Amino acid sequence: MNCIIVTQDFLIEKSIRKLVLESDYLHLLSAFQAFDKASAYMADHCIDILFFDIQMYDFGSIEFIYTIPEDTFVIFVPQPDPFINSAINEKPFSNLIMKRFKKGLDEARFFLSLGKKEKYNRSSDYFII
């Protein structure tokens, strides 16, 4: 599954990159610090999963949310501390962080496969890790 990261926090981006690399079925296409660049990229590329830093809020984030394609599964990343403490360190990932990350990916795979089988409206679905 193709994914992108949208965050202005370098440590969050680095942490999610590391978690994505540990996944067998995710392919990170790019990471963005600006909403307009992420929107333009999504318009031209098929994105299955969007990791979105929910703390990156401002007026632009509301407009950005409306540009996310309906068939893209959004995983909100609300708190950087657990990721930074677990993913940045050279120590193995915390079991809790990895379980939550895998749970989010399982939810994404389920809804994406459901959408391929039938025209399912995912506009109200989300998952927070």
pLDDT by residue (tens digit) across 70-123? 889 998 887 655 555 555 554 544 677 778 888 888 888 888 888 666 655 555
pTM reported for the whole predicted model: 0.77
Determine whether domain 2-128 maps to CATH 3.40.50.300.
Answer: no
Q: Which residue has the tokens 């039938």?
A: 118
Give domain limits for the chain: 2-128
Dump pLDDT digits (tens) for 4-39: 999 988 888 988 898 899 888 899 999 999 999 999
Distances (CA, A) of 28 to 4, 19, 57, 97, 108: 6, 10, 23, 19, 15
Q: Edge-to-edge strand order for the sheet containing 2-6?
A: 27-32, 2-6, 49-53, 73-77, 127-128
**What tokens appear for 120 in the block?**
């399912």
Q: Which residue has the tokens 């392919």?
A: 27
Dump pLDDT digits (tens) for 61-72: 778 888 899 889
